Structure 1
Amino acid sequence: MSRAREAERRARDVLDPVHFDFLAGGAGAERTLADNEAAFARRRLLPRVLRGAGAPDLSTTLLGAELAAPVVVAPTAFHRLAHPDGEVATAVGVAAAGGLMTLSMMATVAVEHVADVGVPLWFGLYLQPDRGFTAAVVARAQDAGCRALVVTADSPVRGRHTRDLAHGFRALPEGMVCENMRDADWRVRDLVVDADLTWDDVAWLRATTSLPVLVKGVLHPADARLAVGHGVDGVIVSNHGGRQLDGAVSTLDALPGVVDAVAGRVPVLLDGGVRSGTDALVALALGADAVMVGRPVLWGLALGGAAGVRAVLGDLADELAHALTLVGARRPGDLTPDLVVTP
């Protein structure tokens, strides 16, 4: 059992069961949730030997951010459900690990407070029908020092989360709100998911901000080509951690088609199912420039606050470095698809 999986097992014992199921659960019968991890189990590594690779070097530059490893923390909501210090503790742990954090629009700590930690920060954005409010949120994130916007594209409607429906979980506990949803009058707005959004809205965002824009939720190669054609700065292969369309393809299975469609024009990240450094290596070998991790970070946060987050990310990096040497590579950029086979 990887350390990330062990952290999940232990987190179940310390979290409110309703909150654990919100963080851990997926949509429908949770087939896609399970398949995100199972897709890695279907792969095997075909290592090279006597390559003289030497000591591993995981350092990576991603859209100008210098990272200790090609691992980015994915945008996940409501970190204060896992730890009283919420996203601030997450940011402290990510900074200590030399990483990059994507802060959700649905964070329970304001972007300004998280940015004060000094961690390299991206902002996870849901485009709202009220463009004035969206522009204000974008300006707020930019003023706080966020380095890029990560636009969620796979949520035209809210996912039907089986466990949440069973528990009747519909609202945050008293005293918690989505701090980044405050408007000019400091009222907290409800998040609106919008089935009318199109690529024109992405073009509008590109014209609204100077920040790099990544689109998260791309699985189909045609959408990857459209994303690049609309001037995005990065594509994130994601099925929302199995929380939207149950039965959607796993992100690892979708990755090669997206990589081929993007053809190196912008970075491609994989989000979903990464639970070990070896998983990360498989995704990198199949063409991802970096991987995103979400739930493992939340389990580390629940178990040890900032130190728990740092431990989870450090373990992933150590596992990746170890696997990198064993397949005969020194850097993530040395990995090639022929190192991965499906028996």
Structure 2
Amino acid sequence: MLLNVEDYRRAARKQLPRFVADYIDGAADDGLCLRRNLSDLAAITLTPRVLRDTSRVDTSIQVFGTRWTSPFGVAPTGLNGLVRPGGDALLAAAAAKAGVPFALSTASNMRLEEVRAAAAAGVQWMQLYVMHRGVAEHIVQRAKACGYQALVLTVDVPVSGNRELDVRNGFRLPFKPTPRLAWDLLTHPRWSLRMARSGAPSFANLTAHGNAADTASVQAALLTRAMDRTVVWDTLDWLRKSWPGPLLLKGLLHEDDARRALAQGVDGLIVSNHGGRQLDAAPSAISALPAVVAAVQGKIPIFMDSGVRRGSDVAKAIALGATAVFLGRPMLYGLAARGAAGAQAVLQALQDELVRAMVLMGASKISDLQSSLESTR
């Protein structure tokens, strides 16, 4: 019986070849940052308040003029087509059905126009990596043309984290045949059959730009996260010229960077350490959240990802000042285990857990959590 995110994680690892499961679960170096994300969230306690009317519980919030049913969304994750063919569209549709936002990664395996059309009624944001400024500008223009509501610039990947599990597993695209890979595929026939039918995933948003040589080099840069390291604070002015909507930065942990972002006119921040996949010595996202919240003084919304596994984790982040959280690995576990139904089930499980936590805390609406900082320690 699959009841929670951890159940779906175990089910996903049974469904996926080891190199794919390790790609999802893996982290940088020794995995210390990943474990801090989980342990620091687990260490936070919420003190219930009693004899409050919770006969009705409203988990909805307003973000950039749009209503979300719940204070969480689907984070941008790359290579979703490796988890399940059409994974990007399946996740977008699950988010739309749940009434929460979906953020599409530059490293998606479906064209951004296809994903937008697959869940046209949903709130969709576009995440941006900058490997090549011409390619990035082309992606931004396409996202604007087909109705993505916000642009999320990921800023914590000037170079790829040292993900040793991927190195040990020989993870690369295209796949290089080895006896170990062959055995991995043979022992996971359902996944292998789906991949055989759909073909190996590619970075679909890069194939429409430039000549074949340029496309190949940019795709290789994306896989290895070889980003344009000349992208600095002043580069945001360049993005603003191409993107008129809300612009968010994803991957901040330092309060001074938050203040600089505010001064640069950024519309929102996502406190994140990339799920522990970049700097292993980085602090947990939840421990960095309060200082970032204090730095911006409520002038822009602050979101968080990295380590959220329970609805109570969502409540903890909100109590510490987050507007909402984004979910990465949990959604991939659901997608791997049961496809679209699994993704929907994970969102529903987190929603049910959040409502239960709110009732137990005596909170009937999200603002009750946001005003309960004194109950958090």
Structures share fold, TM-score greater than 0.5: yes
Please identify, of 266-275 and 39-48, the stretch whose mean Cα deviation from structure 2 is larger. 39-48
Please identify, of 54-63 and 17-26, the stretch whose mean Cα deviation from structure 2 is larger. 54-63
In the TM superposition, 1:1-343 aligns within 5 A as 3-117=4-118, 118=120, 119-128=122-131, 130-173=132-175, 175-185=200-210, 187=212, 188=215, 189-190=218-219, 191=222, 192-335=226-369, 336-341=372-377
Q: Is the 8 A contact 1:218 1:238 kept in 2?
A: yes
Q: Can you give the 5+ residue segments of structure 2 that lack an aligned partner in the other structure?
A: 176-198
Q: What is the aligned-residue identity percentage?
A: 40
Aligned with 1:45: secondary structure? coil
Residues in 2 aligned to 1:260 and 1:23: alpha-carbon distance in whole angstroms: 32
User: Larger radius of gyration, structure 1 or 2?
Assistant: 2
Residues in 1 aligned to 2:268 and 2:300: alpha-carbon distance in whole angstroms: 5
For 2:102, give the aligned amino acid: M
Residues in 1 aligned to 2:115 and 2:94: alpha-carbon distance in whole angstroms: 12
Q: 1:25 to 1:308 in 2, by over 3 A?
A: same
Q: How many residues get paired?
A: 340
More helix by share: 2
Deviation at 1:58, TM superposition (A): 0.5
For 2:171, give the aligned amino acid: F
Deviation at 1:172, TM superposition (A): 4.7
Q: Is the 8 A contact 1:133 1:183 kept in 2?
A: no
For 2:130, give the aligned amino acid: L
Deviation at 1:18, TM superposition (A): 0.2
Q: Residues 230-277 of structure 1: CA distance to partner in whole angstroms, max 9, x if unpaired?
A: 111101000011010001000000000000001101000011100000
Aligned with 1:49: secondary structure? coil
Residues in 1 aligned to 2:106 and 2:63: alpha-carbon distance in whole angstroms: 21
Residues in 2 aligned to 1:65 and 1:19: alpha-carbon distance in whole angstroms: 35
Q: 1:209 to 1:217 in 2, by over 3 A?
A: same
Q: Is the 8 A contact 1:115 1:144 kept in 2?
A: yes
Residues in 2 aligned to 1:65 and 1:277: alpha-carbon distance in whole angstroms: 22
For 1:148, give the aligned amino acid: A
Please identify, of 240-249 and 181-190, the stretch whose mean Cα deviation from structure 2 is larger. 181-190
Q: Residues 278-320 of structure 1: CA distance to partner in whole angstroms, max 9, x if unpaired?
A: 0100000000000010000001111111111111001101110
Residues in 2 aligned to 1:158 and 1:239: alpha-carbon distance in whole angstroms: 12
Q: Is the 8 A contact 1:157 1:194 kept in 2?
A: no
Aligned with 2:161: secondary structure? coil
Q: Is the 8 A contact 2:129 2:154 kept in 1?
A: yes
Residues in 1 aligned to 2:375 and 2:19: alpha-carbon distance in whole angstroms: 41
Please identify, of 236-245 and 159-168, the stretch whose mean Cα deviation from structure 2 is larger. 159-168
Q: Is the 8 A contact 2:3 2:349 kept in 1?
A: no
Deviation at 1:170, TM superposition (A): 2.0
Q: Can you give the 5+ residue segments of structure 1 that lack an aligned partner in the other structure?
A: none
Q: 1:329 to 1:186 in 2, by over 3 A?
A: farther
TM-score normalised to structure 2 length: 0.87
Deviation at 1:91, TM superposition (A): 1.3
Q: Residues 1-37 of structure 1: CA distance to partner in whole angstroms, max 9, x if unpaired?
A: 9701110011100001100100110000010011111
When the two chains are superposed, the root-mean-square deviation of aligned CA atoms in Å is: 1.5
For 2:353, give the aligned amino acid: E
Residues in 1 aligned to 2:211 and 2:294: alpha-carbon distance in whole angstroms: 45
For 1:234, give the aligned amino acid: G
TM-score normalised to structure 1 length: 0.96
Deviation at 1:53, TM superposition (A): 3.7
Please identify, of 256-265 and 76-85, the stretch whose mean Cα deviation from structure 2 is larger. 76-85
Please identify, of 251-260 and 155-164, the stretch whose mean Cα deviation from structure 2 is larger. 155-164
Q: Is the 8 A contact 1:72 1:291 kept in 2?
A: yes
Deviation at 1:99, TM superposition (A): 1.3
